[in-house]
Structures are given as structure tokens and as C-alpha cells.
Structure 1
């Protein structure tokens, strides 16, 4: 598994390899993430800068990314929804995902996870997997606003 440090600038060679292996996914429109949990390396998210792609953080499977426009409009509601202390009552168990849910599939059979590209302007909301499980329909509706 590749180790990255915060704000690491990825080399053009590495980015070309990721692109050729189809390991970069556009996450700017939001959706339910599928991929590794944090304990197995998670899913790195990247911001694009004039000098190239930088690693900016890590998300995990079954978290929900709300796109930046909807996140701005519904910031207070999203803050109320995103409460892992309230919602983490027992260990997380994967669940069946309704067909109407927008998916960002970062699953891979390889050791390294796929990478998600987000807009460097930020403003996205990342909802923990416990709250996402409870409020999945609402988050999908917010994201599609």
C-alpha cells in the first residue's frame, strides 16, 4: 500500500500510472463511497493544483461525500446529520445499497486503493459511515438538490 503525506505532490509519472490503471475517480459530484476502510488504508482524495495533484486526505468506504454546492446550501442540516458519537452504537456492518443511490466506486482488487479527485476549492461534506447508514436517503437527496 502506498504511503502518502499530507499535501504530497504526486509525480507526473505516478499520476500517469494511476490514470492508465483507471485508479483515479472523479468524486466532485458526490455520492456513497465504496472502498477500503481507514484500517486498511482508506481512499486518498486529491486536489488538483496548477503544479499537479496533491494528496489532501483520506476517506473510507461507506462514507458519503456531499458535493460542494449542496454542502454549502445544506451546511447546518449536514452538521446535524454527521454525528458519529450519536450514531455509532455498535460495530459497522455493510448493508445493501438501494439502486437509486449515487455510488463512487473506489474498490480495487489491487493492494493500493483508488484515488478520488475533488475540487481544491473544498467545501465538500464527508459524512461518517455510521451516520451515512442511518441517513443515506436524505444525504442522497441533499446531494442531488
Structure 2
């Protein structure tokens, strides 16, 4: 079973600002030259396109996959496998700037696990209620803190 990540306007605006700042930083040297050669222009373009592509790929290809033994959280090149037996509790969260997170919305769920990188991972499934119900089936001993 696969769940896609919810994408909210705040996150889209945040990504647009990040890409704009990356573009300004990448193309800043062009403002100091009267004549622009092809090689420097291509080099600066690559210094923009490659990081921008990785950022956009990571941000807008997020999915959460239920496997037989673990939950796979994937966003671009980043993957996390969370064993169902290691999940201790879940809680709702709207703090997307701290901790380990693979999400694209402020309407998030924090999954606490014994083996997680910082003790938990924050995700933002599109169908939150269905996602939690499926997780309950696979992790009957986990605690649900607050209203998710």
C-alpha cells in the first residue's frame, strides 16, 4: 500500500523561496561581467540545476510504502525503513523545521521508533486517517498520543 505526501501552500512557497535564493547565489557572478563566455555560463547553470533538481526531486516525490515488515519512507534519494516492531508511538505535529522529516506539509505525523535516526521521523500522508488505521493494523502495541 502506497501513500503520497500531502503538499500545502506553505511548503510550495518555502521551496520557491529556496530555489530563488539558490538561483541568485548561483548566477550572482554573471552580474560582474560585461561579456559572458559559454563555459562559465554553463558551469553556473549546472551549479544551479543540479542542486535545484535534487531539492525538487526530494521535496515533491515523497511517498510512504507499507511493506510486509517495515514502513518505507522515501523522498528522492532519501529512504528510511522503519520496522513495525520498533514503532513505539505516533503523535500529530506541525513543526516541520526540526528533527528528521520527510514531508511536504505542516499537517504531519511524528512516528517514534527505537531505531530512528533522531528517535522519530515526521511524515505528512495525504490520507492521514487511512494511513493511521493501516499503521494500527500493523503495529497494534503502539501508542497514539494526542489526536492525530
Give TM class, smaller chain: under 0.3
Select the structure with the greater relative contact order (CA < 8 A; seq sep ≥ 6). Answer: 1
Structure having the higher Rg = 2
- The two structures have a TM-score, normalised by structure 2, of 0.23
- The two structures have a TM-score, normalised by structure 1, of 0.23
